[in-house]
Amino acid sequence: MSKRTVELELATPGLDARGQPARVPLVARGLEPGNEPDLGGEHLLINLGPQHPATHGVLRLVVELDGEMVVRVIPHVGYLHSGFEKLGEYRHYNQIIPLTDRTDYLSPMANNVGLALAAEQLMGIEITPRCQVLRVIACEMSRIISHMVWLGTTSIDLGAFTPFLWAFQERERIYDLQEMWTGARLTTSVTRVGGLMADVPDAFVPGLRHFTNTFPNTLAEIDRVLTRNAVWAGRTQGIGVMTKAEAITYSLSGPMLRASGVPYDVRKDKPYLGYETYDFEVPIGEHGDVYDRYLLRLEECHQSNRILRQALDRLPDGPINVDDPRVILPSKSRAMSDMEAMIFHFKQVMEGVKAPVGEAYVGIENPKGELGNYLVSDGTAKPVRWRIRPPSFINLSALPKMAEGHLLSDLIAINASVDIVMGEVDR
Amino acid sequence: MNPSVDALRTTFGDAIGRAEAARDGETIAFVRPDRLTDVMRWLRDTPGQAYDYLVDVTAVEYRDRERALEVVYFLRSLERHADLRVKVELDPRGELAVDSVTPLWAGANWLEREVYDMFGVTFRGHPDLRRILMWETYAEGYPLRKDFPLRGRFSRAEQVRQALNANPEAHYSLEELSIAEAFDEVPAEMRERLRRGERGKLPFDE
């Protein structure tokens, strides 16, 4: 790309044509036109991260620049690698659940659900109706907080500070509900194989109902301040475009895939937790650019809110855990007073729950994309292999393709639009 | 059982091994390693199959040392809403190598790099087969192999020593240094080491 020179008609030195002060010195001293060094051939290497606020975590990008244009991006990941998959091979199925909190730490509850579903599929366990609905609530709450963090941080990256505050305030309200339910805001560990860690407290349902009634107001405010904002549109439209075919070949999933016009949502196309019985719509993008991804995530928040309302309306009474003493711990009081319950308690804690030989893959629609949990068992209480299909890792692998030919400042917008969380990319 | 398996057998004959049902109801088809790319291309491009989406690539090593190491490909047809799992068995005592499917699906690039990084499986024809989660000079082996101890091969003291002695320049690949035209400026000895792809030594190599 050739150098770009800015030409302004100067009426008086230091003032532009309209009489406003010209803030940018157009030509440096001693570098009058015709006298400036030729910069055309040299490419610049820029190291972005791993400690950089705009890379959303410890992502390191080595960027080759021609002037301000990105020629090539070489991402380096792994700074947060914790070996979760290896650790999982040394743990009982229920002991893996705390590890899933720490992968995609912006939607911990949905990760808990994903692992529990895979383990239940492997063991052939059918969960109770109340547990199903509560897990749907957990997944959709996660989607809202994850999208709110995405929206807040992306708007900050592009220079809009106010939506960040609104989005994080909404996230805080969900965190209060999560804390009410599980005692933790971030490391929820809410599921167990065959059920849940705890039932929701009495104040939870009215609290969540209040949230679903007031949350759309915030979405409307964000919509009003961003969607038709000229700066926002200018920074996002036509940036980082992935066509339909490219999105498929790069194995993108979630909002990234749907923004490119591929109507695939695991909740609709391979339903789990009874999602087929909920009335909601899956938004699809048209252009596959950053702006479409923004619109799509905003609409997904509306749809998640709809699902939450329906889930609250239908929340059945009944047990949250399956009635199977081999997988569910007896209550503390029974374990201390009933001999048989104590034996089951002992066997579960000491030996763990044994899964039959075989393997199971369960994909769920996480906020970032399709989160897959693949468990292989050799008949013992610990999996031979636990594989997480990490949606943001795979979505991030398309970043070099998306950023090529854009400006460095657009690279920040594109990287933000992928919605990565490094805990999950590096695992 | 997924009908694609019968179609595969008709087309590829004995290149298709046994087929199993997984506990989640999907079908696993075992494919001979040398025919993998042909099978995958056929599955992707044949109209009635149309497995156009690669969900995941990973590997499984069993605790039983006699069992083969498996490379697993999760395929999906977006229009037909059908899934198929393709497995390739490799002898862990032999050469762990299989053809890359990155020419078929661009998304396989990082996934195969991760399998290489974690299991040491080489993907022939991969455009950029480097470690991805571990750093390029990582010398302790392949973390997800069953013979790899949970805490790593080196002692904590050795790991700290290596981290403190690391070259900051080694954080850039040769390719990256050549972009910056910094390559000619680094000392000749370091250039030589970088060119060799300097790696640490395993204690038991010596």
In order, the DSSP letters of A327-371 are TSPPPHHHHHH-HHHHHHHHHHHHH-PPPPSEEEEEEEEETTEEE
Q: Is 80 exceeded by the pLDDT of residue A304?
A: yes
What are A96-103's contacts with CB under 8 Å, separation 24+?
A96/A383, A96/A386, A97/A189, A97/A191, A97/A192, A98/A187, A98/A189, A100/A388, A101/A186, A101/A187, A101/A188, A101/A189, A102/A187, A102/A423, A103/A388, A103/A390, A103/A423, A103/A424, A103/A427
Q: Which residue has the higher pLDDT, A60 or A11?
A: A60
**Residue A47 belongs to a domain:** no
What are A167-176's contacts with CB under 8 Å, separation 24+?
A167/A218, A167/A222, A169/A218, A170/A144, A170/A145, A170/A215, A170/A218, A171/A144, A171/A145, A173/A211, A173/A215, A174/A141, A174/A144, A174/A145, A174/A148, A174/A211, A175/A145, A176/A207
Predicted confidence at residue A371, as pLDDT, reads: 93
At A350-381, the pLDDT tens digits run 888 888 999 999 999 999 999 999 999 998 99
In order, the DSSP letters of B10-62 are HHHGGGEEEEEE-TTS-EEEEE-GGGHHHHHHHHHHSTTT---EEEEEEEE--
Predicted confidence at residue A53, as pLDDT, reads: 77
CB atoms within 10 A of CB B77: 18
Contact A370 B58 (CB under 8 A): no
Predicted confidence at residue B170, as pLDDT, reads: 65
Contact B180 A44 (CB under 8 A): yes
At A259-301, the pLDDT tens digits run 998 999 999 888 999 899 999 999 998 888 898 999 999 999 9
Task: Look over chain A and give the mean of its residue pLDDT values, rounded to a whole number.
Answer: 86
**Residue A316 belongs to a domain:** yes
User: Smallest Cβ distance to B107: which of A45, A83, A397?
Assistant: A397
- Structural domains in chain A (count): 2
| Domain identity same for A121 and A31 | no
Decide if B201 contacts B138 (C-beta within 8 A). Answer: no
A43 touches chain B (CB under 8 A): yes
The band of A326, judged by pLDDT with boundaries at 50, 70 and 90, is confident
Q: Which of A121, A250, A357, A361 to mutate to test the interface with B (most CBs of B within 10 A)?
A: A361
Predicted confidence at residue B19, as pLDDT, reads: 87
Predicted confidence at residue A352, as pLDDT, reads: 86
Q: Which domain holds residue A28?
A: 1-42
| Domain identity same for A6 and A127 | no
Identify the weakest region by mean pLDDT among A37-51, A172-186, A388-402, B133-147. A37-51
| Domain identity same for A262 and A387 | yes
Contact B133 A361 (CB under 8 A): no
Q: Is 80 exceeded by the pLDDT of residue A134?
A: yes
**Residue A64 belongs to a domain:** no
**Residue A48 belongs to a domain:** no
- Supply φ then ψ for residue B142, to 5 degrees: -115, 110
- The CATH code of domain B1-133 reads 3.30.460.80
At A6-49, the pLDDT tens digits run 444 444 445 556 665 554 444 444 445 555 555 556 777 888 87
Contact A64 B179 (CB under 8 A): yes
| Domain identity same for A11 and A123 | no
Q: Is 60 exceeded by the pLDDT of residue A50?
A: yes
What are the domain boundaries of chain B? 1-133, 141-201
Residues 6+ apart with CB under 8 A from B6: none
CA distance A407 to chain B (A): 18
Contact B55 A363 (CB under 8 A): yes
Query: What residues of B are in contact with residue A249 (Cβ under 8 Å)?
Result: 105-107
| Domain identity same for A12 and A140 | no
* Structural tokens at position A288: 């596959």
| Domain identity same for A149 and A30 | no
Contact A378 B54 (CB under 8 A): no
| Domain identity same for A38 and A98 | no
Q: Is 70 exceeded by the pLDDT of residue A195?
A: yes
Residue of B nearest to A390 (CA): B56
| Domain identity same for A105 and A19 | no
As beta bridge partners, residue A196 has A191
* Whole-number Cα distances in Å, A159 to A51, A154, A164, A412, B109: 19, 9, 10, 11, 33
At A71-119, the pLDDT tens digits run 888 898 988 899 999 999 999 999 999 999 999 889 999 999 999 999 9
User: Smallest Cβ distance to B176: which of A45, A250, A427?
Assistant: A45
**Region A205-221: what's the mean pLDDT?**
93
The band of B172, judged by pLDDT with boundaries at 50, 70 and 90, is confident
How do beta strands A44-48 and A195-196 pair? Answer: unpaired
Cα(A419)–Cα(A151) distance, integer angstroms: 9
Predicted confidence at residue B183, as pLDDT, reads: 60
What is the helix (H) or strand (E) element at residue A424, kind and residue range?
A: helix A422-426
Contact A86 B107 (CB under 8 A): no
Q: Is 90 exceeded by the pLDDT of residue A141?
A: yes
**Residue A56 belongs to a domain:** no
Task: Look over chain B and give the mean of its residue pLDDT values, rounded to a whole number.
Answer: 83
Predicted confidence at residue B180, as pLDDT, reads: 63
CATH number at residue A190: 1.10.645.10
Q: Is 50 exceeded by the pLDDT of residue B67?
A: yes
Q: Which residues of chain A from 220 to 279 reach within 8 Å of chain B, CB to CB?
A: 246, 248-252, 262, 264, 269-270
At B71-119, the pLDDT tens digits run 999 999 988 888 999 999 998 888 889 999 999 999 999 999 999 999 9
Question: Which residue is listed with tokens 């059982």?
Answer: B1
**Residue A52 belongs to a domain:** no
Decide if A91 contacts A353 (C-beta within 8 A). Answer: no
